Every structure is written in C-alpha cells, then in structure tokens.
Structure 1
Amino acid sequence: MKEQLKEIIRQVYHKEKRNLFTFLTGAGISSDSGIPTYRGTDGIWVKGTQFHKPEEFGTLKYFKQHPEEVWQYALFRKKMFETAMPNHSHLELAEIEKMLKNRFHLITQNIDNLHRRAGNTRLYEIHGNNREIKCSNGCKGISLFPQEIKGKDIDEDLTRNDIALLTCPDCGHWMRPNILWFDEYYDEKTNKKFSALKVAKNSGILFIIGTSGATNLPLAIAETALKYAACIVDVNTEDNNFTELIKNKKNKLIIREKSTEVLAGVKEIIKDLNR
C-alpha cells in the first residue's frame, strides 16, 4: 500500500494540469481531539439530543420554534470545540499545506475550527463554522460570534445579555449559527459549494479522511474529482458511501488505517519530492 500511495503522489506531483492535492475531511479527523463523530457508534447524530432525533432538532424549522433550546445546545458544543486541541492529523495537514503551497486545498465538513487553529489557511468550510452568526429571518450579512457570549454546560440557560446579543439589529429576529442544518441547501456564500467543486475538478488526487459521505456535497466533490480523472484515496476506519462510489474504479486506493499514520506518510513522501 505504501509503495502504491507513493507512486500516486509522485505522478500527481509532476503533473502540469489538474494537479491539486485536495483533502476532504469530516468529523472522524477530530475524534482524537475528544469531539464525538456524527454517525459513528458513539456519534452525536446516532445518540441524538436528549429528546429529539437529530434530523428534527438540527433544522432551521426547529430553531424557529425553539431558538433558546437550540442555542443552549450550540453553546454547549462551542465550549466543547474551544476546549479541544488540534490533534496530530490536523497538524500534519498544516505541514503538508506549507510544503505544497497553492497546490494544496482542504475541504472540511467540520465546524470546530481545529484546522484553522492548527495553521491551515487554504480551507473551505462547506458546513459553515462556529465563529459566525447570521439572521434566521434572512437579513443579509454574516457577523462574528459575539465575544461576550461564552460556551456553556449543557444545563446552563441563556442570560438576558446573551439573548440581546443574539437578536438581529435589523429585524429583531433571532440570530443563528452560520452552519448548515438538515433542511437547508448548500450555497456559495456560507458553504463554498461552487468553489469546492471547482477545486475538485482540478484535483489530481483527493484524500477522503474521517467522513462517511452521508451528505450531498461531499459525494458530489468525489464524483467530480473522479469525472476529471483524479485518484481517490479513501482513508477511513470502515467502509462508507465513498467506498461504494469508488470500489469499481481504477483510480482509487482504499486505506483502513488511522489518519495520523497515513498523513505522516503522505507528508514524508511530499517532503522527499520537494528536495
């Protein structure tokens, strides 16, 4: 497997066109930082929230009916993200970006900010992020999350000041996290949909790391990369929707190892090519 991966990277490294190195990451890459995955055996969306199925709770419709409850959960997750630290996989990707420069692109489904904290800058956060808020009523503009609002324990209520800071100054409706919910569609403004697909089109290799491919845009990114002859490297601990997509394709490599070990190997291969 190592020699096959080395040869794939070498070929892409020396290509003149469609030669981007693209990494698509999901919740699995942050599990070593103590953040639960979504659809694994211990995942947030498998267990659900205390009273609701995730597909009901994680929607704009539910937010409009129960905004304080959703914000209470969002601030609990905010505290979880802020206390977590980037792990070795995040740090390896930051090092790989330094070596590849503008040939590197990172597309992540994660909203936890750990890739940025690790040092990645060529980054597309296709499920939004935990640093911003926007009006739930559709007012234009995206704002930074108010610094005065801190992450909370799961049983902590919003304060009056929290509520005031989470009120749209233009229309008076609730502000909401700038993330993608189950009943919403990908767009360019929040989700970088078309930018991510353009990157996929020009990729020579697409690494898929820590994600099952349970949402539309990640699968479309892989399909686009395949259409334009990229090699897909599926780095996950178990088979998933991407595995099903690529299992009969020639341009693929399926790796069932921890992402940290694989990324360390990728970094060393690229380091040798850079010499």
Structure 2
Amino acid sequence: MQQLEDIIQYVSTKNKRNLFTFLTGAGLSSESGIPTYRGIDGIWVKGTKFHKPEEFGTFKYFKEHPEEVWQYSLFRKKMFQNAKPNESHYELVEIENILKDRFHLITQNIDNLHRQSGTERIFEIHGNNREIKCSNGCKEIVNLPEEIKGKEIDEDLTEREIELLKCQSCGSWMRPNILWFDEYYDEKTNKKFSSLKIAKNSGILFILGTSGATNLPIAIAETTLKYGGTIVDINIEDNQFTALIKDKKNKIIIRKTSTEALKMIKEMIKIYN
C-alpha cells in the first residue's frame, strides 16, 4: 500500500489541514455483538408488531408511542451494556495516543464503545444513549438517571421509571438524545458544524464500517475532498462513499476488515509521527 504510506507521510509533514480523521459506523461495533441498524436484525420486534427502522426510529412514532419506544431504547441500552469494545476500538485508541491532538474520531455509533475503550477526541454525530432531552424542546440535555436500567424486550416501564422520564420543567416525555430518521442534524446534539470544520482541516479521512446512508457523513467526506484531503474507504464492500470518490484522484479503497486495516495504518503513522 505505497500510496497510503505516501499520503500518511505527506499529511504528517503539513502544518495546515494536517488532521487524521476517522469516521466510524455500525460495522465497527458489529464485532462486539451489536447488530447494525439496517442489517437483518434491523427490523424491530415488539409484541406482535413489526417495524421498519425508518418507521419506528422517528420522532413522529415516539410522540404517538413513547412508552413503546422507551422500552425498545432500554432493551438496546442493555445490549450496549453487555457489549465490550473490540480490537478495532483499541487500535484507534493507540493511533490517538500517537497523533494526540492531530487525531479526531467522528462516529455515527450511539453505543459508547469508543468512550469505553478510551478514545477522547470524539464527536458523536448521531447522539448517544447516555443522555436524554425534553421531547417538547426544553433546551437542557441531561444524563439518563442511573436508576433506569436496561430491560428485556418485553419488560414494561415501571411507574417510577415513567416519572423519571418526564421533563421536570414542562412535564412532557423525555426522549433519547439521538438522531431519528425524520430529524435534522444540529450542533448541540449532533456536532454538525464542529465535524464539518474537522473535515475541512483533514489531510486524510479514514472511513470505517459505515455505508454512508445518512447525509452528514457524506457531507463530511465531500468537505474533506473539497479542501484537498484524501478519502480512505475501508469497508468490506462498495458503498455510497465508494460512489462519491470513484472519479476522484485523492482516494484509496481498502477492502479489509477494520482491524486489519487499522493495524497497518497504525504502523505507517508510527514511522512518520
């Protein structure tokens, strides 16, 4: 991979636009046992109802069925709590330790595994499952009360949990601090402008385990390209990022697992940093 080594060497010597940025998605967490959102496990079962993610994972559905969505969210919370970071997460921590403030991680994952593994320079553009906010628009984002634990899929909310999941200011339901399918990216929850600024200053953007099915990740890649950075598409198969970069010169496509690719990248970065 001489082309990759050359661009890593080049970015390492630049004073401006010298960030090494990693954009990760659900594919990175699949080795930890967390199903990808749109995968075969991506049709949610609740009682006898079947939902497509695009129907269930919406603010509109939450407003109509808040308890059902919270039951599912707490089922996912339990799944996340039982998962452990995998080798890819730890490789990224090692790369961050080499690059320090020239490293940034932008993730679509809400599962906290990057934080759990020790990554510090992290932007969670789809929110996270640690926090909640008022569904009626009261501004404060707060931590999910510790008293509220993960649940089995068919386990109902208790009266106490319902009480804790109501806004103290207006009495409306609190909601997970995540991005649903019918919502727009913003800065407060989704770090929209921060992540685009990072993309602008990235000499190289590594894309791992995401297909580019939502628009901010694509905009991040477009911004890096616009300002002369190189895109490295690391996925098992072609995806929407592949289509974006197919006619571009400053691109590298790697068809390996995330862990294999990150080990190789780490060794190259060590040489020049």
- Post-superposition shift, 1:48? 4.2
- Post-superposition shift, 1:39? 2.8
Q: 2-side partners of 1:4 and 1:208: how far apart? A: 16
Q: Within the alignment, does 1:106 sit opposite 2:112 as a pair?
A: no
Secondary structure of the residue aligned to 2:22 is strand
Secondary structure of the residue aligned to 1:140 is coil
- Post-superposition shift, 1:8? 1.4
- Post-superposition shift, 1:93? 0.4
Aligned partner of 2:266 in structure 1 is 267
Q: 2-side partners of 1:144 and 1:262: how far apart? A: 35
> What TM-score comes out, normalization by structure 1 length?
0.96
| 1:72-102 per-position Cα deviation (integer Å, ceiling 9, x unaligned) | 0000000000110000000000111111011
| 1:199-250 per-position Cα deviation (integer Å, ceiling 9, x unaligned) | 0000000000000001010000000000001000000011100000001100
The one-letter code sitting in structure 1 at the alignment partner of 2:102 is R
Map 1:1-275; keep pairs closer than 5 Å: 2-40=1-39, 42-44=40-42, 47-49=43-45, 50-274=49-273
- Post-superposition shift, 1:15? 1.1
Deviates more, 1:73-82 or 1:48-57: 48-57
Q: 1-side partners of 2:9 and 2:247: how far apart? A: 23
Q: 1-side partners of 2:105 and 2:199: how far apart? A: 10
Secondary structure of the residue aligned to 2:193 is helix
For this pair of structures, how many residues does the alignment match? 270
Unmatched tracts of structure 2, length 5 or more: none
Q: 1-side partners of 2:38 and 2:240: how far apart? A: 12
The one-letter code sitting in structure 2 at the alignment partner of 1:76 is F
| 1:33-77 per-position Cα deviation (integer Å, ceiling 9, x unaligned) | 00011234x242xx3444222111111111011000000000000
Q: 1-side partners of 2:41 and 2:21: how far apart? A: 26
- Post-superposition shift, 1:271? 1.5
Q: Is the 8 A contact 2:67 2:157 kept in 1?
A: yes
Q: 1-side partners of 2:262 and 2:38: how far apart? A: 23
> What TM-score comes out, normalization by structure 2 length?
0.97
Residue identity over aligned pairs, in percent, reads 73
Q: 1-side partners of 2:79 and 2:3: how far apart? A: 38
